[in-house]
Amino acid sequence: MDLQNLEDWLVVASGPSSSTVQPSAKQARGHVPAAWQITEGWGKIRACVQQGLLDSSHAEALSLIDLHHKSVHVADPQVKLLLGLLTKVRCDSVELLGLARASSARILGAWVRKTFLNTSAKPLKQAEELLITLLESVRNSLHELPLSDTYVNQAILLLGLVCTVPQISDDQRDACQSVITLELLARKHVIVQGELSVVLAGVGYAMLMGHSSSISSVLSATLSLWNLNNEELNLGDAEGPPLRVSLMIFHLLEYQGMAIFSKKNISALSVLAAIVTDIAQKTSDTSPPATRCAAFMAAAGLRRGLTQSRTGSSNSPAEQEMQRLILSLEMELIRTCENALRHLERLKMHSAPGKIYWSFSEAALRHVHRCMALALARSRGLLCHPSFLQCLAITLLTDVLSLHDLYSAQIEDLRRPLQDVHQSGSALGFAMERLESHVDSSLFHEVGAIARAMCEQYKPVTEEYHNRIELLVWQFTQDMFVGHRTFTVQSGTGLSREGKEAIAVEKVLISSFMTVVVFFSRAIDTKPGTKAAARIFAGFLPPYNSIIHWPGCPELYNMAYDWSRDAVLTTHLSFYLRVFPSFLSNIPEITFSNDVAPVMFLYLQHPTVLVSNAAHALFVHFLGLESLGTSSDRTDASKSELGQVSLREKLSVYYVERALETFPGVTPFDALVYGIAAISKTLPPGSPATLHCINLLVHKASTLKPMSTSVKDVKKGAEKDLDDLGDAEKLQLLLLHLIGRVDLQVLPELLRQTAHLILGLPPQARTVALENAFEVVAGSSDYTRKPIVIPWLQSVAYLVTHQPPQSAPQTSLKKQSASEEIISLNPSMGIITVGEQRQCSVRQQQSLQSCL
């Protein structure tokens, strides 16, 4: 940062953290004027000073030179003209005279920089004399009344620049600093409504050199600028400096810390100690809230500047003193945060067991918390303390990312008569305007930095505060889900995605989602795999009844509500379904069975493919975890493991039923294959659940109408595409591929059911199914099964070629059973027999009933 461009740097530094440096607004625009224009302009200014009267033509000439003051050369005669304009010229218009004097001050500031600060040459004695005259002229001009606020601000900047000139004496510098202090105290109302970056830059320059007492006086007056009692002032944040200005104070003291300590002498350390002492006095409880707010930003900024100035060596006395000052500033920050939290604690509301709500009913308290959050977010390497963590979390979740104002406004409008809404205005419309302004504010642009600081403060604190912050974040997510779901369904068609209102809401929602994800990723790193965290997460899963029923106000009930079309609910549950597999092993079985499984099976039939696939994937992951828990010793499974297997079998049967209910149509075939393959792999050998799943698949395949495709039209080998197959053919192919996956105890029943299905097809479809069966068997390398499967396939082929043609295709398994003889299989030889009755044992029937 350039020392001579502090006012521009403050504007850039107080912007969003991600912003880039922009050129100053005061830089010259367009082409440099011709020399004759500049000469003519100086001539008009000379005439103005000689006449002692300012008119619009003189002001225009002065504005031209001011616009290009960085490139226009200003000699000593021109300086004298500008000094005369400050004290000898009058004008009927106070505003015009103030603008002219402000332009003169800017031009004189450029002259001071070029002559005394941005040069290695020694200034001439005449220039030094002019500098003394300048100081007297500015001091005299400030005694006049009335004064323009524009000129006052520029005069403070000019006096601050004069303080940095090495050629002036200490007495002159003290006098200059004294004038700045008096102006800050006497003209608060004018200064705070003007260009504050200019004023603060002047303060920053004035504090670079001089005695510690004078510097402390300037700082004290600056921090007290917002201690105002005039209610007629139109200030956005009358309870303290606006957020943008608060950040300017932060970076101003950061600059002071780096600049003063760079001198590394005893005088510099005493100045820093005096500044720290003055800041500590301003942050005390006896100071007004606005002053405490500004002092907190100053303490955080000075701490950051000193931290960046450290060289890493702790042996030198200067480094040790700086470390003591940093620790002292951090203690002041902690004390201020604790005081603000105690005040907020008195406003805490307990509206439900286990839930805590804070109310920023006082504007000053809200503003203080916002300023503290911004300061802490920009203070890297800060000492970790619970008060910092709580301040950041409460401000971020209760204020910055909260949409409670929007949700409350909608409820208010819906409960008011429509005529009243039209006459007095919509509360929701006003809330939307406030939200748009909030999203464009510097506070909202710092959401990422505040979330990062919260995560950094989270890890080192104790378990007690871990639990507090985690509960606060969980509560925030649930409140936002419930509130936004209700807001959306009660809005009917909802907000237009192209509108400004929708964009503002979307920005808040995206920021909220990213904040929660980043925080819990840090929390998981702190204590990975804990069952307590998993249970808490599962406990926040919406209950089944609340999912399928109307979430809004009972008096606004809409009979057309459909849970599957609830966009907010779908997004929320989709996140749960995708996240659950990562810690499913830590969720108790009873919790999964009673809370998670009903929601999972409900979303199996969701019309959105991505959501449905997530539900299928969760079920498959559940089966995989259960198999890992019992596959190591299936034969010696304990009673508890048998209980887990029983749950797995029950859920498998219901999974197939739910998936086939909406196939074809909703259930994706790929997801169905994924689930059936997991069932065949993980269920115990000979499980009645596997047999029943096969029955369900065969029954479903028999109810679907085969495609009217001839054998010649069917693609073979590598040319075959799954998308070319009909739904019935897909299920047939799935059954054929299961021949190589199911255990040997189930294989005979699968072969019998598959043969029954093939023989019940129309002639053309029967031939196509048989060819598919030949390809599946030929491509298998399982020589354990082939002695059974090959004779079975030959028997099916024989029956297909010798079966009389059917007049009409059978459409159900019941019709086939009534019109055809029973088909059975000799398990030892793999030969199908027709006409031999096959009975299930009583034990298998009872096991099957237990699965259902």
Q: What is the pLDDT of residue 616?
A: 94
- Using alpha carbons, list the distances in angstroms from residue 547 to 262, 272, 477, 567, 572: 63, 61, 16, 12, 11
pLDDT range class, residue 452, cuts 50, 70, 90:
very high
Domain assignment present for residue 123? The answer is: yes
- Using alpha carbons, list the distances in angstroms from residue 773 to 741, 751, 778, 785: 15, 11, 8, 14
What angle, rounded to 10 degrees, do the helices at 747-759 and 786-802 form? 20
Average pLDDT over residues 162-168: 91
Average pLDDT over residues 712-740: 71
> By CB neighbour count within 10 A (0-12 exposed, 13-18 middle, 19+ buried), where does 455 fall?
buried
Tell whether the model's pLDDT for residue 826 goes beyond 70.
no
C-alpha angle 736-738-741 in degrees, rounded to nearest 5: 140
Average pLDDT over residues 479-492: 87
Domain assignment present for residue 839? The answer is: yes
Of residues 374, 318, 366, 327, the one with CA closest to residue 344: 366
Tell whether the model's pLDDT for residue 173 goes beyond 60.
yes
Tell whether the model's pLDDT for residue 46 goes beyond 60.
yes
Domain assignment present for residue 763? The answer is: yes
Q: Are 487 and 367 in contact (CB under 8 A)?
A: no
Handedness of CA 451, 456, 459, 461 (dihedral sign): negative
Taking the CB of residue 499, how many other CB atoms lie within 10 A of it? 11
Rounded Cα distance between 138 and 104, Å, is 11
H runs (alpha helix) in 739-806:
747-759, 763-778, 786-802
Domain boundary among 189, 210, 231: 210
Average pLDDT over residues 322-349: 87
3-state secondary structure of 831: strand
Domain assignment present for residue 257? The answer is: no
Q: What is the pLDDT of residue 768?
A: 84
Q: How far is CA 511 from its chain centroid? A: 2
Q: Are 825 and 755 in contact (CB under 8 A)?
A: yes
Taking the CB of residue 570, how many other CB atoms lie within 10 A of it? 18
Phi-psi group of 495: left, alpha or beta (phi > 0 → left; psi -120 to 50 → alpha; rest → beta): beta
C-alpha angle 101-171-224 in degrees, rounded to nearest 5: 65
Helices then strands, each counted (H, E), the chain: 39, 4
Q: Are 552 and 407 in contact (CB under 8 A)?
A: no
Written in H, E and C, the secondary structure of 788-813 is HHHHHHHHHHHHHHHCCCCCCCCCCH
Q: What is the pLDDT of residue 844?
A: 37
Rounded Cα distance between 321 and 317, Å, is 6
Lowest mean pLDDT among 18-32, 450-464, 585-599: 18-32
Taking the CB of residue 681, how many other CB atoms lie within 10 A of it? 15
Domain boundary among 210, 236, 265: 210
Domain assignment present for residue 707? The answer is: yes
The share of the chain scoring above pLDDT 90, in percent, equals 32
Q: What is the pLDDT of residues 148-159, one digit of tens each?
A: 888 999 999 999
Q: What is the pLDDT of residue 590?
A: 87
Close Cβ partners of 694 (under 8 Å, ≥ 6 residues apart): 735, 738, 742, 746, 749, 750, 753
Q: Are 205 and 113 in contact (CB under 8 A)?
A: no
> By CB neighbour count within 10 A (0-12 exposed, 13-18 middle, 19+ buried), where does 621 fall?
middle
Domain assignment present for residue 718? The answer is: yes
Q: What is the pLDDT of residues 201-260, one digit of tens each?
A: 999 999 998 888 999 999 999 999 988 764 444 444 446 789 999 999 999 999 998 888
Tell whether the model's pLDDT for residue 20 goes beyond 70.
no
Both tokens of residue 824? 């059975």
Tell whether the model's pLDDT for residue 808 goes beyond 50.
no
Domain CATH for 163: 1.25.10
pLDDT range class, residue 717, cuts 50, 70, 90:
very low
Higher pLDDT, 828 or 166: 166
Write out the residue range of the structural domain in which residue 136 sits: 1-210
Of residues 249, 250, 169, 165, the one with CA closest to residue 208: 165
Q: What is the pLDDT of residue 683?
A: 87
Q: What is the pLDDT of residue 56?
A: 87
Both tokens of residue 837? 């009755």
Q: Considering the chain, what is the average pLDDT of its residues?
A: 81
Q: What is the pLDDT of residue 530?
A: 66
Tell whether the model's pLDDT for residue 23 goes beyond 50.
no
Close Cβ partners of 343 (under 8 Å, ≥ 6 residues apart): 365
Beta strands in 268-391 (DSSP E): 349-352, 355-357
Q: Are 443 and 400 in contact (CB under 8 A)?
A: yes
Question: Which H/E stretch holds residue 152?
Answer: helix 149-163
Rounded Cα distance between 630 and 462, Å, is 38
Question: In sequence order, what DSSP letters do the residues of 666-721 get, joined into one string?
Answer: TS-HHHHHHHHHHHHHHSPTT-HHHHHHHHHHHHHHHHSPPP---GGGS--GGG--
Partners of residue 755 on adjacent β-strands:
none
Checking DSSP bridges between strand 355-357 and strand 349-352, what pairing results, if any?
antiparallel
Close Cβ partners of 549 (under 8 Å, ≥ 6 residues apart): 563
Tell whether the model's pLDDT for residue 346 goes beyond 60.
yes
3-state secondary structure of 53: strand
Taking the CB of residue 195, how many other CB atoms lie within 10 A of it? 17
Tell whether the model's pLDDT for residue 419 goes beyond 80.
no
pLDDT range class, residue 501, cuts 50, 70, 90:
confident
Q: What is the pLDDT of residue 229?
A: 62
pLDDT range class, residue 492, cuts 50, 70, 90:
low
Domain boundary among 145, 178, 210: 210
pLDDT range class, residue 349, cuts 50, 70, 90:
low
Domain assignment present for residue 115? The answer is: yes
Tell whether the model's pLDDT for residue 298 goes beyond 90.
yes
Q: What is the pLDDT of residue 221?
A: 94
Q: What is the pLDDT of residue 637?
A: 40
Q: What is the pLDDT of residues 617-638, one digit of tens each?
A: 999 999 888 543 333 343 344 4
Domain assignment present for residue 334? The answer is: no
Q: What is the pLDDT of residue 185?
A: 92
The share of the chain scoring above pLDDT 70, in percent, equals 82
Q: What is the pLDDT of residues 359-388, one digit of tens each?
A: 666 777 889 999 999 999 999 889 999 999
Close Cβ partners of 744 (under 8 Å, ≥ 6 residues apart): 685, 784, 785
> Which residue reads 């009872």 in tokens?
846
- Sequence length of the chain is 852
Q: What is the pLDDT of residues 272-297, one digit of tens each?
A: 899 999 999 998 888 888 899 999 99
Q: What is the separation, in whole angstroms, between the first and last Cα of the chain?
A: 75
Close Cβ partners of 407 (under 8 Å, ≥ 6 residues apart): 483, 484, 486, 487
Please report, to the nearest 10 degrees, the dihedral formed by the alpha carbons of residues 631, 635, 637, 643 taken in order.
90
Q: Are 587 and 552 in contact (CB under 8 A)?
A: no
Q: What is the pLDDT of residue 743?
A: 83
Partners of residue 349 on adjacent β-strands:
357
> By CB neighbour count within 10 A (0-12 exposed, 13-18 middle, 19+ buried), where does 664 fall?
middle
Rounded Cα distance between 203 and 158, Å, is 10
Q: What is the pLDDT of residue 720?
A: 53
Taking the CB of residue 828, how many other CB atoms lie within 10 A of it? 10
Q: What is the pLDDT of residues 71-104, one digit of tens each?
A: 888 888 999 999 998 888 888 888 888 899 999 9
Q: Are 402 and 366 in contact (CB under 8 A)?
A: no
The one-letter amino acid at 566: D
Counting the structural domains of the chain, the total is 2
Both tokens of residue 106? 């800017």
Q: What is the pLDDT of residue 636?
A: 41
Q: What are phi and psi of 685, to 5 degrees?
A: -60, 135
Tell whether the model's pLDDT for residue 817 goes beyond 80.
no
Q: Are 395 and 387 in contact (CB under 8 A)?
A: no
Higher pLDDT, 541 or 843: 541
Both tokens of residue 105? 């001050």
